[in-house]
């Protein structure tokens, strides 16, 4: 442990202070803000909007506005071409020189990844990649568990310095804790610790060791395209802007509903002294029931069981009435709902509100979901390249940590994703198949083969079992077992896992 001056250059021509300041840019703040919206940690962001001197709401606390928010960002991202919701791709290690699969390396990779909950990790990574467009996977070796240790880095907690000629990373800095940072180069690993805030901030170099791997053990995954320049693909902030509009809308709407319920007294008179606002309390006793008055300790003017005494002295035409705003929120809500649908379409997501029509044919389903299918295919190509980069880092860390060649230097990883299927719900799919069978364009045997993944023999046995059951119970079902000449396109029909009830 030692200290160094923060103005001393420690990596890639940067001082410790300059490296830490790279994580305080507007780009870094935008990334952290996007993750807050995705994770549902939005209250602080809504308060920031309300406090904005130009676009916020003046004296919003005193007026009674309450920050409200909705998880629009998560709703869209989770429907936007996710790759790991159904099943993991097939990962195979190939020896490039011999162009054959290295079965031992493939098996070893599968075993080690299964020990670190890799499926869950990739599912989380996929969502962040879709949101931020660029994500780094940091790979280190866990001596205790004898396995890889993976961390997700992004522009909100990390920065990369690249060689302008080769465009390869020469330095990586990331925040590990609130005040702790690590700086990686191919040669050294430096630990920084930050003390103080603002102008009083001091960056101390508290540790420096040689890099055990000989590389920066980090791999990058991109969403749908590579960066035109530099390292990062710029984040699309349209979804965050939509979420902010929605949050502000529902905050304003609740406030409007409150004042529509609670009328406001309007008068040209003044309250008559300290006894002007009084509670009226009825007590039952001998004889008539008389009101007993006592001073109201609250500041609410009027309300249940309250009497307001007004002074009309000197007022020519005294009046006192309760008024409330007449606001029709329905058309306003419809505008915002349409905004959500339009913005979601920009992210290849089709959103339907309750009561809207469902698809009535397989062709209509394909048309509605084509953008999502195309997006998934596009993202699959990027992730296939990302897995190659990821494997090279895994290979280097594993072989170096254990002093082995279990993953040969001339090997690489090939990734095979399953063909994307239509993200439609089971009810819709069942309706479509019922219509096909009713019109004679398919049979129950076709249904069992393509939906329940049965072979022809299993489908026929299942159909015969149903026929026997119906006959034994006097159930009459009219269904064609011979499809007509108008065949359906079976390649566009999604398969369904009968155990999980989800598309696979």
DSSP element (H, E) containing 158: strand 158-162
Lowest mean pLDDT among 49-53, 210-214, 302-306: 302-306
Q: In whole angstroms, what is the distance from residue 495 CA to residue 504 CA?
A: 6
Task: Map tokens 């026997």 to a residue.
Answer: 468
- Dihedral sign, Cα of residue 351, residue 355, residue 356, residue 362: positive
Residue 297 pLDDT > 80: no
Residue 69 pLDDT > 80: yes
* Average pLDDT of the chain to the nearest whole number: 82
Residue 341 pLDDT > 90: no
Residue 496 pLDDT > 90: no
Residue 72 pLDDT > 80: yes
In this prediction the pTM is 0.72
Across residues 417-429, what is the average pLDDT? 70
Q: How far is CA 368 from the centre of its chain?
A: 22
Residue 202 pLDDT > 50: yes
Residue 336 pLDDT > 90: no
> How would residue 323 be classed by pLDDT, with cut points 50, 70 and 90?
confident
3-class secondary structure, 52? coil
Q: In whole angstroms, what is the distance from residue 310 CA to residue 292 CA?
A: 19
Q: In whole angstroms, what is the distance from residue 126 CA to residue 386 CA?
A: 11
379-388 burial code (b ≥16 CB/10 A, e <16): bbebbeebbe
Spatial neighbors of 495 by CB under 8 A, at least 6 apart, are 421, 450, 451, 453, 503, 504
Cβ 439 vs Cβ 446: under 8 Å: no
The CA-CA-CA angle for residues 335, 337, 343, to 5°, reads 100
In the Cβ-directed half-sphere of 377, how many Cα atoms lie within 13 Å? Answer: 10
Query: For 219-260, how does the pLDDT look when each residue is reduced to its tens digit (9 = 90+)?
Result: 999 999 999 889 999 999 999 999 999 999 999 888 888 877
What is the reported pLDDT for 344? 81
3-class secondary structure, 193? strand
Lowest mean pLDDT among 30-44, 101-115, 139-153, 191-205: 191-205
What is the reported pLDDT for 477? 63
Q: In whole angstroms, what is the distance from residue 313 CA to residue 467 CA?
A: 92
Helix, strand, coil shares of the chain, percent, nearest 5, are 40, 20, 40
Across residues 172-200, what is the average pLDDT? 90
Which of 231-245, 274-288, 348-362 holds the top average pLDDT? 231-245
Tokens of 447: 């249904």
> How would residue 503 be classed by pLDDT, with cut points 50, 70 and 90?
very low
CA distances from 244 to 42, 251, 345, 351, 486 (A): 9, 11, 18, 19, 50
Cβ 137 vs Cβ 218: under 8 Å: yes
What is the reported pLDDT for 348? 76
Strands in 290-422 per DSSP E: 291-295, 306-308, 310-311, 320-323, 411-416
């Amino acid at each position: 442990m030692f200290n160094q001056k923060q103005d001393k250059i420690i990596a890639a021509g940067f001082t410790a202070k300059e490296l830490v300041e790279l994580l305080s840019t507007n780009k870094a703040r935008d990334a952290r803000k996007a993750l807050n919206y995705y994770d549902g940690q939005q209250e602080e962001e809504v308060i920031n909007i309300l406090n904005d001197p130009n676009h916020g709401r003046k004296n919003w606390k005193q007026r009674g506005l309450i920050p409200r928010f909705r998880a629009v960002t998560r709703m869209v991202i989770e429907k936007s071409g996710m790759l790991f919701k159904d099943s993991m791709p097939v990962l195979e290690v190939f020896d490039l020189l011999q162009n054959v699969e290295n079965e031992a390396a493939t098996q070893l990779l599968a075993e080690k990844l299964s020990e670190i909950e890799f499926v869950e990790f990739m599912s989380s990574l996929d969502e962040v990649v879709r949101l931020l467009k660029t994500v780094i996977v940091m790979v280190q070796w866990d001596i205790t568990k004898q396995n890889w240790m993976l961390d997700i880095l992004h522009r909100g907690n990390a920065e990369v310095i690249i060689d302008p000629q080769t465009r390869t990373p020469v330095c990586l800095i990331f925040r590990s804790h609130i005040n702790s940072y690590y700086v990686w180069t191919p040669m050294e690993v430096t630990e920084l610790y930050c003390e103080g805030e603002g102008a009083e901030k001091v960056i101390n170099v508290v540790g420096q060791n040689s890099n055990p791997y000989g590389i920066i053990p980090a791999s990058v995954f991109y969403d749908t395209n590579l960066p035109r320049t530099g390292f990062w693909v710029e984040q699309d902030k349209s979804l965050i802007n939509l979420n902010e509009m929605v949050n502000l809308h529902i905050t304003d709407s609740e406030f409007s509903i409150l004042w529509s319920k609670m009328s406001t007294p309007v008068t040209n008179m003044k309250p008559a002294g300290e006894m002007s606002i009084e509670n009226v309390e009825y007590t039952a006793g001998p004889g008539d029931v008389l009101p007993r008055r006592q001073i109201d300790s609250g500041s609410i003017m009027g309300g249940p069981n309250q009497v307001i005494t007004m002074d009309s002295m000197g007022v020519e035409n005294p009046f006192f009435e309760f008024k409330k705003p007449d606001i029709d929120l329905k058309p306003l809500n419809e505008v915002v709902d349409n905004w959500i649908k339009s913005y979601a379409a920009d992210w290849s997501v089709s959103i339907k509100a309750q009561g809207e029509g469902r698809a009535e044919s397989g062709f209509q389903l394909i048309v509605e979901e084509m953008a999502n299918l195309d997006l998934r295919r596009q993202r699959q190509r990027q992730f296939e390249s990302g897995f190659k980069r990821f494997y090279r880092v895994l290979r280097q860390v594993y072989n170096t940590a254990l002093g082995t060649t279990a993953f040969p230097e001339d090997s690489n990883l090939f990734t095979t994703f399953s063909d994307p299927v239509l993200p439609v719900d089971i009810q819709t799919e069942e309706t479509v198949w019922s219509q096909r069978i009713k019109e004679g364009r398919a049979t129950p045997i076709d249904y069992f083969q393509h939906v329940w993944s049965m072979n022809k023999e299993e489908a026929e046995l299942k159909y015969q079992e149903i026929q026997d059951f119906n006959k034994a119970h006097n159930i009459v079902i009219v269904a064609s077992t011979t499809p007509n000449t108008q065949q359906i396109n079976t390649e566009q029909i999604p398969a369904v896992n009968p155990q999980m009830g989800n598309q696979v």
